[in-house]
Amino acid sequence: MGFIDVKEKVIKTLGEFLNRNKEYIVEAYISNTATSHIIGRMYVATDRTFKTDDKGFTLEWDNKQDITYNNLSVLYDDILACYDETDEYDQQMIFVILKCGISIDFGCCGMN
């Protein structure tokens, strides 16, 4: 995938997913692509903003609290692939695979 293809795919796939599930908390799993080992998990609150520019995307949220602020930024140059999958229960997952061997997997956890 070229730089323009990655950028467009991330904006379309992840952006549409976040917008469609804007009333729900989204889980983001960070995992090792070689071993599928989950390194960490984040809950992305409904007050999130998804920002894009020419270099990458940023997802920001504060869990509706005054003192907590969270930010996830990824450069398009660091992304190997971005795709979505839907399971037999009609649950959609978005996978952002980084060149360094890390995957960020987004899914709607159904809580709002």
CATH number for 49: 2.30.29
**Long-range Cβ pairs for the range 96-100 (8 Å, 24+):** 96/10, 96/14, 97/33, 98/74
Residue range of the domain that includes 104: 3-108
| Overall residue count recorded for the chain in this entry | 112
Contact 18, 11 (CB under 8 A): no
pLDDT tens-digit readout, 30-64: 999 999 999 999 999 898 999 999 999 999 998 66
- Is the per-residue pLDDT at 111 higher than 90? no
Please, which pLDDT band fits residue 65 given cuts at 50, 70 and 90? low
Is the pLDDT confidence value at 85 over 90?
Answer: yes
- Average confidence (pLDDT) over 4-26: 93
The per-residue pLDDT for 27 is: 95
* Whether this model's pTM surpasses 0.95: no
Number of helices (H) and strands (E), helices first, in the chain?
1, 8
Average pLDDT score, the chain: 91
pLDDT tens, position by position, 96-107 = 999 999 999 999
Q: How many structural domains comprise the chain?
A: 1
Give the model's pLDDT for residue 68: 65
Distance between CA atoms of residues 18 and 99, nearest Å: 23
pLDDT recorded at residue 70: 87
